[in-house]
Each structure stands twice: as C-alpha cells, then as structure tokens.
Amino acid sequence: MLVLKNNSKVNLSDIPVLKIGELREEIIKENKRPIAFFGKDWGEGRVRLFVVLENAPELLVSSAVFEADEKSYECITNAIPAFHIYEREFFEQFGIKPLNHPWLKPVRKNQDNYEFFEMTGDEVHQVAVGPIHAGVIEPGHFRFMCNGETVYHLEIMLGYQHRGVEDMMVKCPSNQLAESICGDSVIAYNTAYSQIMETLKGIQISDKAQLIRKACLEMERAAIHIGDLGAIAGDIAYLMGASVFGATRTLVINTMLEFSGSRFGRGMVTVGGVNYDISQEKIDRALKTFAKVEKDVERMTNTMLKNSTVMSRLEKTGTVSTERAQEAGLIGMAGRACGVDVDSRFDFPDKWNEELGIHKKAFKATNDVNSRFKLRYKEILQSFSIIRKCFAKLEQIKDEPIIVQGGEMAKDAFAISIVEGWRGEVVHIAMTDSNGNLSRYKIKDPSFNNWYGLALAVRNNGVSDFPLCNKSHNLSYCGNDL
Amino acid sequence: MIINLIILLIVPFLMAGVIKKTKAFWGGRKGASIFQPLHDFIKLMKKDFVISKTTSTVFKIAPVVQIASVLFASMFVPLACGSALINVSAGLIIFAYTLSLGKFVSLISAMDTGSSFEGMGASREACFTTIVEPAFFMLIASIMALSGNFTFDSLQNILASAGNYGVLIQIFAVVVLFIMILIEGSRVPVDDPATHLELTMIHEVMILDNSGSDLAFFTWANSIKMLLLSSLIAFIVIPQGLTEWMAVLAYLFVMFIISVIIGTVESAMARFRMSHVFEFVFLMSSFALVVLALVVARMFGG
C-alpha cells in the first residue's frame, strides 16, 4: 500500500492497482481503521475502488479495478465490521455487491421500499418517528422495536437530505458550496476543501492564515459543544442549564460574527488563506468574552454534575462498550466518549501542535451520556486554551498576507485532507483528470460512521431516553446524506 | 358562590401563568405575562379544528366529556369561600370517579388516533393513575374517618379532630396532595409540559392530535384539575373563622405560593427517568400510609 501524509497529493498512477481479492486480503492483513472506501467511474464500464486506511501519523492508500462484468466481491465487513457502512455506500453508488454482507441496507436512496428489521411477539410494538420531527431539526426516520418501554432495536433510515453534493463539487467547486454542505461544521468543511485545493494548486498558506483557521475551528467546536450541553439539559427538563448554556453559546458565535460577518463563520476560510484578518482590538475583546464564557460553562457544568436528578438521567444511559464502538468504527467525539482514542488533530499533527505546545488530553471514558457530556466540557476548555495560544502567536506575526494566490491544479492527482471538526474527522478527497479538472470529489462526515453507534447506544434503554442519547451524539443528517 | 365561579374560570390560567413566570425568572428571562395562558385559551377557542380520518366518535366527544367531568367534579370541592357547592357525604367518591371518567375518556381518545406515540402516552398515564388513586383515597378517607364527617369539610377540622397528631397529619396531607398535583398536572419531575420530544411525553402526547377548542378544553381541564387539588391544600392550611374576603385573599395567596413552588421545582431539578417516576409516585402512597397510621394511632391508640 502507498504511504501518504495528510494534506498531500500523489499521482494517480502511483497508487497500486490490485485485483479486488488481493486488495481485500491486504486490508484484512493490515487490519486498520478505514478512513475512506469509495469508487470512481473508470471508463468502459469499469469501476476503480480506492481505499484509505489510517496508519497514524500517515495514511495508507490502495485501489482495485472492477472490470465491466465483475459485479460482486466477497465483503470485508465480516472480517472488519467497521467497513459495513462503506461497503453499503459503495454498493449503492456503483451496484457492485459485497457478497455475504450482514446488513446490506440502503444508505441514502430507496426509502420507499426499505425493509426494516422486525421483531415479533404479542407484546412487541413498533414506534415510527419522523422523517418530520417536532423540533426544528433535519429529516430522518427512526424505527424502534420496543417491548413496553424498552427499546430492543433501533433502525435509522436517512437520505432525505441527499442533494448530490459530491457531483456538485466536481462540477462547480467553490468555498460557498463547501461551507454549505453541513451548516454546523462550516469552518471544518471549508478548511478541508481549501486545504485540498491548496494541495492541488501547490499553495503554501501563510502562518497567520493557518493560525486564524485553527482558532476559528476551535471556536466552532466550543460553540457547538456549549450549545449541545444546553440541549442535553433541555432534554432532561433542567431549565437552568438550557438557559445558561444557550446564552453563553451566543457569546461565542457573536465573536465569530465580529471576525467574519457570519455567526457560523461563513466566508471566513477561503482557498489560499482566510478572507478576514483579525485585528488586535478584536482579539482583546474576544479573549475577554472567552474568559467569561469559560467561567460560566465551568460553573454551570459543575452545578449540573452535582445535581443528583441530572446525574441520574445522564449516568448509565445510552452506553456503548469500547469493544462495540471499536467494532462499529465509531470516531470523533462520540468515539472518544466510548474510549476509542481517535482524534485527527493529534493523529496527524501539524507543525503548530509542537510549536504552541498543544497536547492531547487524557479522558476517562465511561461510555454513557455522562461521558459524552463531560467530554464536551473538557473539549470546550481545551479549545479555549488552543485559541489563546493561537492568538498569542498571532500577536508576534505582523506582516504576513492572509491570502496567497496559486497556480494551476495538478493533473491526474489524488489529494486528501482530514480536518477534525467538532463531531470528528471530516475527510475530503479529490481527484483530477488529465486536464487538471476535478473528476471525483469524495466527502466523509463523521456522522457517516457514527449513526450506527447511536442505534447501538439506544438498545436496552427506555424509549423516553432516546432523545437524550440522540442529543448527546448530535449527529448530522446532511453530512451523512450529502 | 359567584366568587367561586369566577375563581374556577380564571385562576387555573393564572396559576399556569405564574408557573411559567417563575420558570422564566429562574432561567434569567423576562417571560410572558401571567395572562398569556388565558389569551392562549381564548385564541384556541376561536380556532377551527382538524380531525384525523382514522378517528371515530370517541375522539370527537372526548374533550367535551373531559371538561364536563372536571367541571362537575369541581362542584364537590370547597373553593375560596364556604363549603362545596354539593356538600354530600359521598362527595369524595363522586369527585374521584368523575375525574377518572374524564381521564378514561381521554385515554381511549388517545388510543383512538392509532398513533404509537399516543398509545405510549396513554399507557404511561393509566399506569400512574392506578397508583395515585388508592393513595388519594387512603389519605382523604383516613382524615374523614377521623372526624366522622364524610364531607370535604373534615379537611378543615384536622387540628380539632386529631389533637396531638393534627400538625403531622396536615404536613403529610399537604405533601401527598402536592405530589399528586405534580403527577396529575403533568409537571416536572414526572412529565415535562414544555418539551417537544414526543417519545418522552405523558400528558402532552395524548392530546397531540387535538386542535382548536378541543385542545383548549383539554388544557383548561388539566389546569382546573391542578386548581382543585390545590384547593384541597388551601382548605387544609387556611385556618377557620376568617371573614369571607380574608378567606378569598388567603386562598389566592395559597394558590400563588403553590404555583411559585411548582415553578421553582421545575427550574431546580431535572425530570426523572421514566422508570424512576414510579418510585416517586409510590412515595405519595407511603406518605398516605403514614397518615393512615397516624389516624389509626389516634383512634385506637388513645
């Protein structure tokens, strides 16, 4: 397998081409976490399958070609279960069937004749929720198999938000499109897209732009995490938490508004750098705001963690064991809360980690809603500490351009960029053709891996605890549906 | 009597308003006016309603039966001044089972919609009711047995009839009735009236398909139920022998205090896990048992 670094490109012809049988054996032999597994139309009815595995701090890339008459292969899921969702997606997009796949269900299409897993028995009942929900959230259908108040199985059917983003990115790639893919991870998506483009065009962005991007990414993480702590409090009818966290989140996103003109950071990041410089005056004001935010979050979290009624709801609710989480391939925040230690900020470190002294913080996972609650709190504090370090470094860097112009895109290239958004790794992969135009754009949101984790978390919990499990994961519908 | 009628019409909404205002206060918000629930009621009464095609007559008559049964039950309870409108010795039983009739109709109306949410809500509500009912009877009947007067008037005479145990019985009776208000009024920590999450609801989910005046009747009936139970508390704690106006003022004051306490409880604690709600409901039963024990001790223990 070819070894590749994050944010780098390689010539398509350098990627090994194997037979699918060989590739399958190699994947099983490596037994690494899959980061991408997707196909590309290879002309004359052929399909080329690319696979990217994690081998921190590097990536392993390989591929296989399916001839026009090859329409099936022996699935990898039975050997490495984390591949289940990738193989389902590959089957849906290219019609090449993974044989003996244990759970070959649609990912985004075919909602009309979706066959749900059913439980039978006199006391069993099904509860169908969605696709339209009572709250202001995105559409998705949930089917619960219950016995009384206990959920035995949850099946999640998504795809209502499928917009064909990957094709659109090939036809008209732009920052505006990239930041609209998933509205709560604007900075993460836009940074991943910009880094891909910079890699392909050979642009080296300035230190200043890198630090501003890094600070904004952490602001996004802190803001969403604070909002989610409030949402968890709201779901258990703990009014004070909902109000306080709601108000403090506003302070963070309003600071983003000052920086970029959008509360969610739209328009901040662009190919070649960032669109807006942050003046010293704004930095000082932001630091003052963040100090207050940090204090409020700390106080409210500690109040909640001391409240026995709150703890009785959070503890031992929505538990996923570390083994199951690893098996299902959970990543990002939801994975870390279950003891799966995956964080691309530290797995694929950039130069700033060492220079600014940013270290991975240990977290003792308890695998339940409480674990996800505490992890969010810890990550908020860590984000603010990173932001402070970035701002301190920014003061030293004065005269640097915030945008660097680039040249032509590389031809026949394969580029990958992984950014740790607040949910987990946002993976963008782009390929160019012989004219230097994009020919395939692959996006993977962390929700793509983690939705199955939510289904596992709900098992053997009360139906009425589902909203709590759901809110503590807060997965993206549009990021999954693309 | 006129005063009682006005109270029955308006105070339930004001109580809901005060609860919401208290919650807003603790949440650091200004909150809506305390008259907002009344405005909402008037707005709903003016609105047209939508009726699902899958429902039958049960669904259509349920709101009317519910509000009628609650209003009828209110005649057996002493409100601000004087005794109950119909002050008979079987009042307790008629009161409890008229309320149960209303609840039964609302349960089958929820099942009538064929929605899995509403079925779940109905099953939860029915489950709690079966535990609440015996506790309520145990409490009130014990107090009645003590005074030998089988009307609600006996609640006022606890101190006179129970002697040394009077204050204890009063305290336990108030606690039991307060827990019952939280359960019957579907408040936190039993239920969350402000949630939008169908899967966690109890009372709210049962009226999910009701709209317009049907919905207005259900919400009004629920508020009146809270008022009636609060009135029993008021009847226990307000001393006898006040002038009529003083009695009305004292009554309104008690209603206000109860609303503020409910609002504060809702702000200070999270909702119970559904399986823990039963423990809370059984708490009510055990306190009612304590009252029974005290009454037995008083009557037979000397």
The mean pLDDT value for B276-297 works out to 91
- Looking at the structure, tell me whether residues A95 and A185 fall in a common domain: no
For chain B, the DSSP string reads -HHHHHHHHHHHHHHHHHHHHHHHHHTT-----TTHHHHHHHHHHHS-----TT--HHHHHHHHHHHHHHHHHHTTS--SSSS-SS--TTHHHHHHHHHHHHHHHHHHHHHHT--HHHHHHHHHHHHHHHHHHHHHHHHHHHHHHHHT--SGGGGGGHHHHHGGGHHHHHHHHHHHHHHHHHHHTT-TTT--TT---GGG-SHHHHTTT--HHHHHHHHHHHHHHHHHHHHHHHHHHSPS---HHHHHHHHHHHHHHHHHHHHHHHHHSPPPPHHHHHHHHHHHHHHHHHHHHHHHHHHH--
> Is pLDDT above 90 for B288?
yes
Q: What is the pLDDT of residue B241?
A: 81
Determine which helix (DSSP H) or strand (DSSP E) holds A443, and give its type and residue range. strand A438-444
Q: What is the pLDDT of residue B19?
A: 94
- Looking at the structure, tell me whether residues A275 and A420 fall in a common domain: yes
> Is pLDDT above 70 for B55?
yes
Q: Cβ contact (<8 Å) for A317 and B273?
A: yes
Q: What is the pLDDT of residue A299?
A: 93
Instruction: Evaluate whether B143 touches B158 at the Cβ level (below 8 Å).
Output: yes
Nearest CA in chain A to B276: A312
Residue holding tokens 């040249």?
A407
Q: What is the pLDDT of residue B302?
A: 59
Q: Confirm whether A472 is domain-assigned.
A: no
Nearest CA in chain B to A150: B275
Q: What is the pLDDT of residue A1?
A: 87
For residue A123, what are the contacts with CB-CB under 8 A and spacing of at least 6? A147, A148
Q: Confirm whether A150 is domain-assigned.
A: no
ipTM of the complex: 0.87
The verdict on A237 touching B (C-beta cutoff 8 Å) is: yes
Q: Cβ contact (<8 Å) for A312 and B189?
A: no
- Looking at the structure, tell me whether residues A279 and A412 fall in a common domain: yes
pTM for this prediction: 0.91
From the number of C-beta atoms within 10 Å of its C-beta (0-12, 13-18, 19+), residue A481 rates as buried
- Which of these three, A78, A99, A120, is where a domain ends? A99
List, for residues B175-190, the tens digit of each pLDDT value.
999 999 999 888 888 8
The verdict on A149 touching B (C-beta cutoff 8 Å) is: yes
Neighbours of B38 (CB within 10 A): 18
Q: What is the pLDDT of residue B158?
A: 85
d(CA B127, CA B129): 5
Q: Which residues of B touch A243 (CB under 8 A)?
A: 27-29
The 3-state DSSP class for residue A280 equals helix
Nearest to A462 among B26, B267, B275 (CB): B275
Alpha-carbon distances, residue B279 vs B93, B179, B187, B285 (angstroms):
26, 12, 16, 10
Q: Cβ contact (<8 Å) for A467 and B28?
A: no
- Looking at the structure, tell me whether residues A370 and A247 fall in a common domain: yes
Q: Which residues of B touch A135 (CB under 8 A)?
A: 196-197
Sheet with A438-444, side-by-side order of all strands: A8-11, A413-420, A425-432, A438-444
Nearest CA in chain B to A303: B268
Determine the residue among A239, A243, A370 to mutate to test chain B binding: the one whose Cβ has the most chain B Cβ atoms within 10 Å: A239
Q: Which residues of B touch A240 (CB under 8 A)?
A: 26-27, 267-268
Looking at residue A323, which CATH number applies to its domain?
1.10.645.10
Q: What is the pLDDT of residue A250?
A: 94
Nearest to B199 among A239, A309, A464 (CB): A464
Determine which helix (DSSP H) or strand (DSSP E) holds A419, and give its type and residue range. strand A413-420
| Buried residues in A354-368 as b, exposed as e (16+ CB within 10 A) | eebebeeeebebbbb
- Looking at the structure, tell me whether residues A216 and A90 fall in a common domain: no
pLDDT band at B202; cut points 50, 70, 90: confident
Q: Which two tokens stand for residue A394?
A: 């920014």
Q: Cβ contact (<8 Å) for B269 and A127?
A: no
List, for residues B24-35, the tens digit of each pLDDT value.
998 888 999 999
For A118-129, the DSSP string reads ---STTEEEEEE
The verdict on A125 touching B (C-beta cutoff 8 Å) is: yes
Determine the residue among A236, A245, A369 to mutate to test chain B binding: the one whose Cβ has the most chain B Cβ atoms within 10 Å: A236
Q: Report, in angstroms and rounded to the nearest whole number, the Rg of chain A calculated over CA atoms.
A: 22
Nearest to B199 among A129, A233, A242 (CB): A129
Q: What is the pLDDT of residue B117?
A: 87
Q: Is the dihedral of CA B224, B228, B234, B235 positive or negative?
A: positive
Q: What is the pLDDT of residue B42?
A: 95
List, for residues B40-50, the tens digit of each pLDDT value.
999 999 999 88
Alpha-carbon distances, residue B66 vs A163, B58, B63, B104 (angstroms):
48, 12, 5, 9
Mean pLDDT of chain B: 90
The verdict on A397 touching B (C-beta cutoff 8 Å) is: no
Q: Which two tokens stand for residue B96?
A: 């409890």
- Please report, as a single letter, which amino acid is at residue B267: S
Nearest CA in chain A to B28: A243
The verdict on A317 touching B (C-beta cutoff 8 Å) is: yes
The verdict on A81 touching B (C-beta cutoff 8 Å) is: no
Q: What is the pLDDT of residue A264?
A: 92
Percent of chain B beyond pLDDT 70? Answer: 100
Q: Nearest 5 degrees, angle CA A279-CA A280-CA A282?
A: 65
Q: Structural domain boundaries of chain B?
A: 2-300
Mean pLDDT by 10 residues, chain A (482 residues): 89 90 91 92 90 90 90 91 92 91 87 85 87 85 90 91 91 91 92 93 90 92 94 90 92 93 91 89 92 93 92 91 92 92 90 88 90 93 92 86 86 92 93 90 93 92 90 91 88
Beta pairing, strands A58-66 & A269-270: unpaired
Q: Which residues of A touch B117 (CB under 8 A)?
A: 127
Crossing angle (nearest 10°) for helices A207-235 and A239-260 = 160
For residue A199, what are the contacts with CB-CB under 8 A and spacing of at least 6? A7, A8, A9, A415, A417
d(CA B121, CA A19): 56
Q: Confirm whether A122 is domain-assigned.
A: no
d(CA B202, CA B187): 10
Q: How many domains does chain A have?
A: 2
Q: If interface means Cβ-Cβ distance under 8 Å, which residues of chain B face chain A?
A: 23, 26-29, 116-117, 119-120, 188-189, 192, 194-200, 266-276
Q: What is the pLDDT of residue A148?
A: 86
From the number of C-beta atoms within 10 Å of its C-beta (0-12, 13-18, 19+), residue B104 rates as middle
pLDDT band at B4; cut points 50, 70, 90: confident
Structural domain boundaries, residue A38:
2-99
Taking one residue from A and the other from B, the number of pairs with CB-CB distance under 8 angstroms is: 84
Q: What is the pLDDT of residue A384?
A: 93
Cross-strand partners of A444: A427
Q: Which residues of B touch A233 (CB under 8 A)?
A: 270
d(CA A282, CA A252): 13
> Is pLDDT above 90 for B107?
yes
Q: Report, in angstroms and rounded to the nearest whole number, the Rg of chain B calculated over CA atoms.
A: 19
Q: Confirm whether A255 is domain-assigned.
A: yes
